[in-house]
Amino acid sequence: MPKPLVSFIITTYNLPVTLLEECLHSILSLSLSEDEREIILIDDGSDRSPIDFLSKKNALMYIRQANQGLSVARNHGLQWANGEYIQFVDGDDYLVTAPYEHCLDFVRYERPDMVFFHMTSSNCADTAFSAPQPVSGCEYMTEKNIRAAAWGYIFRKDVLGDLKFTSGIYHEDEEFTPQLLLRSKRVFDTNAPAYYYRQRTGSITHSTDTKIIDKRLEDILQVIVHLKRISSQLPAKSKKALERRVAQLTMDYLYQIIVQTQSRQRLDAAIDILQEMELYPLPDRQYTRKYTLFRKLISSHWGRQLLVRGLKVKR
């Protein structure tokens, strides 16, 4: 029996059935035949199983696990997936038909390792999409600031090897996606707004709980340290690519400390830790205008003070 072309791995935890229905409908509305698609719904220990309330439950494989977090749910999905390609979808989001069909055309006719696309929060989608040329994942990461969200691309399962999501941490995508890129030889980056991202109040991403904020900051630092360790073992070109990502994440880490804590003391303490780990000063590279300006400001006493005051107002 031939493999499905795409395995869609949907993750859910205590989501309204109406959102899951919308997510499922967006996948079933694609041009993929039943043989070309596989839909796997991973329930991360919801208080009540949604499966009996879904009108199209016969179209999917339902797996329920004890509450262990998004990383474990995705890893379980990967274990069960039979498709040649993988697409992660958060259960409260959905795929936008026309732009996603554009991405499927690359999958069908170009045999890529990864196809990146954009997210949207609008119901209106353009119909004119880019036709990019393929580059290696190493080239892509060297030249661009990547969009690391694991739902922001479709990828060939064979590229994974032994790569998995790290359980128990936030920012697992920031650790996973750069490593997947380094394993990819044919990467397409399209401008198609193929993924509808729903910003829900009360989500972990937008939490103001200080314990969650501290945990997120600790975890992103853990990811940065891990990626730096990996980069030190890579050939020159791959090392250069990953070093850019490490520098960008380090900048984002410092930025989040300023925005989330509004504390000059916390900022100075974080910089001291980064220095001990040889992650600071930030590399003198012209990655982006934002990076160049931030690097200049964060390197001086007056610049740090300006950042703390300015970002406090922004918040």
pLDDT digits (tens, 9 = 90+) for 104-123: 999 999 999 999 999 998 87
Domain end marker among 196, 217, 252:
196
Report how far residue 218's alpha carbon sits from residue 48's, in angstroms, rounded to the nearest whole number: 32
Report how far residue 104's alpha carbon sits from residue 109's, in angstroms, rounded to the nearest whole number: 9
105 burial level (CB within 10 Å; 0-12, 13-18, 19+): middle
Domain end marker among 162, 196, 230:
196
Report how far residue 184's alpha carbon sits from residue 136's, in angstroms, rounded to the nearest whole number: 6
Q: How far is CA 42 from the centre of its chain?
A: 18
pLDDT in tens, 248-272: 999 999 999 999 999 999 999 999 9
Q: Could you tell me if residue 51 is inside a domain?
A: yes
Domain total of the chain: 2
Q: Could you tell me if residue 25 is inside a domain?
A: yes
Report how far residue 89's alpha carbon sits from residue 37's, in angstroms, rounded to the nearest whole number: 14
Which helix (H) or strand (E) segment holds residue 149: the answer is none
161 with 218, same domain: the answer is no
- 281 upstream amide cis, omega within 30 of 0: yes
Q: Could you tell me if residue 204 is inside a domain?
A: no
Check residue 313 and give its pLDDT: 55
Q: Could you tell me if residue 291 is inside a domain?
A: yes
Check residue 203 and give its pLDDT: 62
Domain end marker among 139, 169, 196:
196
247 with 171, same domain: the answer is no
Check residue 201 and give its pLDDT: 64
178 with 229, same domain: the answer is no
93 with 32, same domain: the answer is yes
219 with 127, same domain: the answer is no
59 with 161, same domain: the answer is yes
Q: Could you tell me if residue 257 is inside a domain?
A: yes
Q: Could you tell me if residue 1 is inside a domain?
A: no
192 with 215, same domain: the answer is no
33 with 159, same domain: the answer is yes
Q: Could you tell me if residue 158 is inside a domain?
A: yes
Report how far residue 303's alpha carbon sits from residue 202's, in angstroms, rounded to the nearest whole number: 34
* Residue 35 DSSP code: T
217 with 131, same domain: the answer is no
Q: Coil, strand, or helix at residue 245? A: helix
293 CB-near residues (< 8 Å, 6+ apart): none
Check residue 44 and give its pLDDT: 98
Phi, psi angles (nearest 5°) of residue 288: -145, 165
CATH number (domain holding residue 167): 3.90.550.10
Phi, psi angles (nearest 5°) of residue 231: -60, -30
Q: Could you tell me if residue 144 is inside a domain?
A: yes
91 with 182, same domain: the answer is yes
Check residue 2 and give its pLDDT: 86
Biggest CA-to-CA distance, the chain: 66
DSSP for 78-133? Answer: HHH---SEEEEEETT-EE-HHHHHHHHHHHHHH--SEEEEEEESSS---S----PP
- To the question of pTM greater than 0.85 for the whole model, the response is yes
Q: Any bridge partners for residue 12, and if so which?
A: 43
Supply the range of the domain harboring residue 260: 209-314
Ranges of residues in the chain with a pLDDT under 50 are none
13 with 155, same domain: the answer is yes
180 with 308, same domain: the answer is no
